[in-house]
């Protein structure tokens, strides 16, 4: 019996990121926002290391590499696109403007990820290793930005906090698709190893 896809250690962290995001959405739906934020942070940590783990396997085929790129972005859509949008809705971002901003945020995340896939596929055809720059704010940064904004929750009146979340999502969405180069932190060491 055969299954489609590739099954080895190189994709485990990507799957864990997805499991963490789905768990976080369940916690958010139950009103346990602190646990949901921890799940978002965990997804970010898993994503931080999944590329390094994948590059540690030296004999990956072209299909395995392409599968990894697609899988990573599909999981990122859920973990750093849909999940933060849903979490914001559960925390009070609602109404026509709120829903429009959540939808815009998700669309910008998908655009950013699709653009990355196109650029990364082209880059890997001509060079090895990892890319040293991002173009636009990486979607995974929401796993750091959202917890920081969540920590401010106790300092902001409860009825104003959804407004803060709405503004945060709008700004981050804009930064996802703004074409500016951002150097990856610690990339020389990671690329040397991978």
pLDDT for residue 129 = 62
Higher pLDDT, 179 or 54: 179
For residue 158, the tally of other CB atoms under 10 A from its CB is 9
Q: Helices 161-177 and 83-90 sit at what angle, rounded to 10 degrees?
A: 160
For the chain, what are the domain ranges? 9-193
pLDDT tens profile 136-194: 899 999 999 999 999 999 899 989 999 999 999 999 999 999 988 888 765 455 454 33
- How many whole angstroms separate alpha carbon 163 and alpha carbon 55? 41
pLDDT for residue 186 = 59
- How many whole angstroms separate alpha carbon 54 and alpha carbon 9? 8
Higher pLDDT, 130 or 14: 14
pLDDT for residue 150 = 97
pLDDT for residue 15 = 94
pLDDT tens profile 85-132: 999 999 999 999 999 999 999 999 999 999 988 887 777 667 666 667
pLDDT tens profile 60-79: 888 888 888 889 999 999 99
Q: Which helix (H) or strand (E) holds 133?
A: strand 133-135
């Amino acid at each position: 019996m055969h299954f489609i896809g590739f099954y080895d250690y190189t994709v485990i962290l990507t799957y864990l990121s997805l499991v963490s995001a789905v768990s976080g959405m369940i916690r958010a739906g139950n009103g346990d926002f602190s646990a949901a934020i921890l799940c978002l942070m965990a997804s970010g940590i898993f994503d931080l290391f999944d590329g390094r783990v994948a590059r540690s396997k030296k004999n990956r085929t072209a299909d395995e590499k392409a599968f990894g790129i697609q899988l990573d972005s599909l999981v990122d859509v859920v973990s750093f696109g849909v999940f933060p949008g849903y979490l914001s809705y559960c925390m009070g971002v609602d109404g026509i403007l709120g829903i429009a901003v959540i939808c815009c945020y998700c669309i910008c995340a998908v655009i950013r990820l699709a653009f990355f896939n196109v650029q990364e596929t082209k880059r890997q055809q001509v060079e090895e290793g990892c890319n040293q720059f991002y173009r636009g704010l990486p979607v995974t940064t929401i796993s750091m930005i959202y917890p920081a904004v969540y920590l401010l929750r106790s300092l902001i009146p409860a009825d104003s906090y959804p407004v803060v979340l709405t503004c945060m999502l709008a700004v981050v969405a804009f930064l996802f698709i703004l074409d500016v180069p951002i150097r990856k932190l610690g990339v020389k060491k990671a690329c040397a190893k991978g």
